[in-house]
Amino acid sequence: MKFENVIIGNSSAAIGCVEAIREIDSDADILMVSADRQAYSRALIPYYLRGKIELEGLLYRRQEFFERLNVETKFGIRVERIDTNKKEITLENGEIVGYEKLLIATGGKPFIPKIEGLNARDFFTFQTLEDVLRIKEAVEKAESAVILGAGIIGLMLAEALVEKGLEVKVVELADRVLAPVLDKKTSEIVQRKFAEKGVEILLNNTILEVRRNEKKILRLKDGREIETDLLAIAVGVVPNAELAKNAGIKVNRGIVVNKRMETSVKDVYAAGDCVEIFDSIAKTSRPIPLWITAYMGGRIAGFNMSGIPRDLSFVTAMNSMHFFDYYIITAGLSNSEDGEVISRLEGENYRRFVLRDGKIVGFIIAGKVGRAGIFTRLMEEELEVSGFKDKLLNDNFGYVDIPEAIRWNLLKEKVKFGVVRDAWI
């Protein structure tokens, strides 16, 4: 059995890849192999836990999608190994499938720090459908929870658990929540939001040891011991790159890819949370585990796999998050102090821009998030904004505030390649 395109994984990058291939070529055969039984959206996990959506709602693309796009699927099957010489993959059931082009989109996996006494049954992670089903069950019996890690996932889980009536504590090693993306002011607002809901956030702290009686007893760095029914670990995600590594593909922190999403081995592409990629703003290669980055990476890989050379031109970290209806959007070097920083805080509305050489390299917009995408665009275009930088801080900043000479050029859509005709649910 041999396919022109084989995709390992079925999440964002994989879907992006399939949709791109089909824009170019309606005939090429595609096989999608994934350990997951269904193509669901991991980013929706917290919403499911909160009951905002039903299980059905987790499905990013339904099975009909694959039929309609004529994609052969082998879901619920793990890939054992890749042989890049023979251009074959071996599945866990022993089946061998040949490929002409291969996309590795194996995603990421939760990072579990070393904690004394911790074993797998003691804690939950919060990434997969299995995880959330387990948590859902556990929540029914639990009264209290401790979450290690005050990142986006940790805090969203905290919000969900508070809503379920649990007494929640969050333990965070850094001196504030969301330290990698928020500055002090926004962190404080978020902390205040959680405090108002009774969530205790233990900063500059971590769990050193887990012990058990009826409940779990956690010994913290500051020496305190706290009891909890439920422990969740959400300190981050790391690339799931073993498969690639074993196949002899170059891996640093993640699978190394270039702008065309090509790995070190010919005809093997990689995209999504499993790769490390060049951050156009931070000017360094690193894993950027974001939904849109994964989708775009997969999409670019799809074009290149179909013989259409195309680069992923702009990548940087960007996040949209919300806690107790407080919305925050960040991008780039959002909390950097290195450069010209302009900001305005009014109540809980906050805008902060980091400028270098008159160009935006990062921003935080919180409260009235308005039309934050415009700033991402300005970053991507590397537009000199010093001429109107004061206006950036207005809640209703828009294209009208950009000088007319460049405004209309910006409003032209720059289609690099590919026209999306259809993308079904």
Partner 1 sequence: MRIVVKPEVCMGCQICEIWCLVAHSMSKDILNAFLLEKPRAKPRIVVERNPSEYLILQCRNCEEPKCMFACISGAIYKDNGVLKYNEEKCVSCLSCVMACPYGAVKFEDGKIVRCDLCNLDPVCVKVCPNKALEVVS
* Near partner 1 in 201-230, by CB under 8 A: none
Q: Which one among 173, 369, 383, 406 touches partner 1, defined by CB under 8 A?
A: 369
CB of 225 to partner 1, least distance (A): 36
In the region spanning residues 305 to 344, those forming contacts with partner 1, defined by CB under 8 A, are 318-320, 322, 325, 327, 329, 331
359 binds partner 1 (CB under 8 A): no
> Rule CB under 8 A: is residue 360 a binding residue for partner 1?
no
Of 76, 373, 390, 409, the residue at the interface with partner 1 (CB under 8 A) is 373
Rule CB under 8 A: say whether 400 interacts with partner 1.
yes
d(CA 111, CA 239): 9
> Considering the complex, what minimum distance in angstroms separates the CB of residue 400 from partner 1?
4
Interface segment toward partner 1; rule CB under 8 A; list 67-75, 216-224, 245-253, 293-301: 293-301
| Of 230, 234, 364, 372, the one binding partner 1 by CB under 8 A | 372
Q: Answer yes or no whether residue 22 interacts with partner 1 by CB under 8 A.
A: no
Where does this chain touch partner 1 (CB under 8 A) — which range of 202-210, 230-238, 295-303, 337-345? 295-303
Contact code string over 43-82 relative to partner 1, x by CB under 8 A: xx--x----xx---x-xxx---------------------
Based on the shown chain and the rule CB under 8 A, indicate whether residue 282 belongs to the binding site for partner 1. Answer: no
- The verdict on 169 binding partner 1 (CB under 8 A) reads no
Nearest in space to 301 (alpha carbons), one of 347, 268, 323, 333: 268
Cβ(40)–Cβ(129) under 8 Å? yes
First to last CA, the chain: 29
Q: Binding segment for partner 1 among 113-121, 195-203, 348-356, 408-416 (CB under 8 A)?
A: 408-416
- Beta strands, E only, 138-253: 144-148, 167-171, 200-202, 207-212, 216-220, 225-228, 230-233, 237-239
For 199-238, letters b (16+ CB in 10 Å) and e give bebbbebbbeebeeeebbebbbeeeeebebbbbbbbbbbb
Tokens, residue 333: 């070097």
Residue 190 engages partner 1 in binding (rule: CB under 8 A): no
Minimum Å gap between C-beta 326 and partner 1 is: 12
Whether 131 and 125 have beta carbons less than 8 Å apart is answered as yes
Closest-CA residue to 206 (of 170, 167, 162)? 170
Does residue 408 belong to the site contacting partner 1 (CB under 8 A)?
yes
Among 193, 299, 351, 352, binds partner 1 (CB under 8 A): 299
Element (H, E) at 191: helix 184-196
219/16 Cα distance (integer angstroms)? 44
d(CA 371, CA 124) in angstroms, rounded, equals 36
Site size with partner 1, rule: CB under 8 A: 54
Give, in order, the Cα–Cα distances in Å from 360 to each of 77, 187, 250, 320: 45, 21, 33, 18
Cβ distance to partner 1 smaller for residue 264 or 319: 319
Give me the 245-274 binding string for partner 1, x by CB under 8 A, dash otherwise: ------------------------------
Buried b / exposed e along 312-333 (16+ C-beta atoms within 10 A):
beebbbbbbbbbeebebbbbbb
Using DSSP's 3-state secondary structure scheme, residue 340 falls into: strand
Q: Which helix (H) or strand (E) holds 45?
A: helix 45-49
At which residue do the structure tokens 């669901």 appear? 40
14 binds partner 1 (CB under 8 A): no
242-271 in b/e form (b: 16+ CB < 10 A) is ebbeebebebeebbbbeeebbbbbeebbbb
Least distance (Å) from partner 1 to the CB of residue 425?
5
Per CB under 8 A, 405 contacts partner 1: no
CB of 63 to partner 1, least distance (A): 13
Binding site for partner 1 (CB under 8 A): 16, 41, 43-44, 47, 52-53, 57, 59-61, 291-292, 295-296, 299, 318-320, 322, 325, 327, 329, 331, 369-374, 376-377, 380, 391, 396, 398-401, 404, 407-408, 411, 413, 415-416, 418-425
